[in-house]
Amino acid sequence: MRAFIRKLSNHRYRPYATSLFVCLAALLVIVCSGCKKETSTPMDDLLGDWHLSIQNQHMILLFHMDGRFTLDTKIVGNLSNVVTSKGIVTGVVTLDENQLTLTPDQVEIEKSNWVVGEPKAFTITEKNEDNLILTNEAGRPHTWKRTRSKPATAPAAVETGKMHVIRLDPIVVNLKKDAFYAKDRFLCMDLEILLKEGILLDPETGYWIHPRIQEAATFFLSNQTYDKVKTFDHSQKVVEKLKGLLTPYMNNNIDKLNIKALIVTSKIVVVDDFIAARTPPPPAEKSEEDTDGATKNKGAGNTAS
C-alpha cells in the first residue's frame, strides 16, 4: 500500500492519480445519493386521530396507513353527561395537494348526509402537528385537534383491513371523592379495545384475553374523581391513560380504547337503567306442559325401540 502511494506521488503517475481521485469522488456521491431516506408523503402528516366538537356532537376522524379513514360520531345529552355512539363511517382517502376527498364505502349512521359511493371534498386550509383545518364544500371551516401522536412508520408485512374489536363487560364504579362533603357519583362506561392493524384473530379460539384485564380496568376507573371524568374530553384523557395500563395485558397489541357509552351520575336509578340495558334477558323457562310433553315423547321413543 505504501509503495502504491509513493507511485501516485511520483510525477509520472500524478495525472493518473488525479483521475483516480475524481472517479472515487464521483462514486462516493452516487453511493451517498442512493443512501438517502425516502421522503415522507403528505398523507403521512394526517395519520392518527383528529377530534372535532360541534355543540353536543363529538367526532373522531382516524386516518389509517392503508389509505382509509374511520369517522366515529358520538352524541352528548343536553341535560346530562350521557354519551352514546351515533355511528361510524368508513371509506377511502384521496389527497391531491390541499384537496382532501373522503369517499365512504360503509355508512352505519341513520339520518346522515354521508352516502356510500358519494365523495365529500374538503380544502386543507391549515395543517400542523396539532391542528387540521378543513373547509367543506359550503365554505365553512372546522378545526380538528389531534388526539394522539401519529404513527412513526408503517410496520412491515402488515395485512390491511379493519381493526379487530374486543368488547369489555360494562363497567360501573363509585367515583373516588376528592372532598369529605362531596356526594356519591357513579361512572358507567362501555369500552371496547381496538387491536392494531394486522393483528388477526384466531377463528377458533379468538384473541386470548388476560383474565384480569376487566378487573384492572374497573380498579383504575374506580380511583378517578368526578373532576377527571365530568366531560367527554376529560374521560378521553383518562381512557388514554387506561390504555397504557392495559397494553401489557394484550402483548402491546392495543391500538386504542373506544368509549361506546358513558354516563356520570349521582342517581342510582340511572345506574340501574344502564345495567339493565346491557344485561341479556334470561333464557325462556319451559312451561310444565312442554316439560310433560317432552317426557312423554321420550318415553314413547324408548318403548318403540
Instruction: State whether 169 and 142 are in the same domain.
Output: no
Question: Please, how many CA atoms are within 13 Å of residue 67, restricted to the half-sphere of its CB?
Answer: 7
Which of the four pLDDT bands, split at 50, 70 and 90, describes residue 79? very low
Query: E-assigned strands of the chain?
Result: 48-54, 57-63, 68-76, 83-96, 99-107, 120-127, 131-135, 141-146, 165-167, 171-174, 186-195, 254-265
Instruction: State whether 96 and 193 are in the same domain.
Output: no
Instruction: State whether 171 and 127 are in the same domain.
Output: no
In a domain, 203, yes or no: yes
For the question of whether the overall pTM of this predicted structure is more than 0.85, the answer is: no
Instruction: State whether 116 and 207 are in the same domain.
Output: no
Instruction: State whether 186 and 136 are in the same domain.
Output: no
Instruction: State whether 188 and 110 are in the same domain.
Output: no
Q: In this predicted model, what pLDDT tens digit does every residue of 20-78 receive, in sequence order?
A: 555 555 566 554 554 444 456 767 888 877 888 887 777 888 888 888 998 888 776 65
Calpha distance 207→219 (Å, rounded)? 23
In a domain, 27, yes or no: no
CATH of the domain at 174: 3.30.479
Instruction: State whether 102 and 188 are in the same domain.
Output: no
- Name the nearest CA neighbour of 218 among 196, 194, 245, 236: 245
Instruction: State whether 104 and 204 are in the same domain.
Output: no
Q: In this predicted model, what pLDDT tens digit does every residue of 45-54 receive, in sequence order?
A: 888 778 888 8
Residues 108, 88: contact at Cβ < 8 Å? yes
* Phi, psi of 4, rounded to the nearest 5 degrees: -65, -40
Axis-axis angle for helices 213-222, 232-246 (nearest 10): 140
Calpha distance 291→169 (Å, rounded)? 34
- What the block records as the C-alpha cell of 252 is 402491546
Q: For the chain, how many structural domains are there in total? A: 2
Q: What is the mean pLDDT of the chain?
A: 75
CATH of the domain at 137: 2.40.128.280
3-class DSSP state of 51 = strand
β-sheet bridge partners, residue 51: 60, 145
- Host domain of residue 261: 165-277
Q: In this predicted model, what pLDDT tens digit does every residue of 166-221 receive, in sequence order?
A: 888 899 999 988 877 888 899 999 998 888 776 655 444 444 556 678 888 988 99
In a domain, 98, yes or no: yes
In a domain, 157, yes or no: no
3-class DSSP state of 231 = coil
Residues 63, 124: contact at Cβ < 8 Å? no
In a domain, 240, yes or no: yes
Q: Look at residues 146, 178, 205 and tell me which one is the last residue of a structural domain.
A: 146
Residues 134, 59: contact at Cβ < 8 Å? no
Calpha distance 255→195 (Å, rounded)? 5
Q: In this predicted model, what pLDDT tens digit does every residue of 129-170 receive, in sequence order?
A: 889 999 999 999 999 988 654 443 333 333 334 457 788 889
Instruction: State whether 103 and 202 are in the same domain.
Output: no
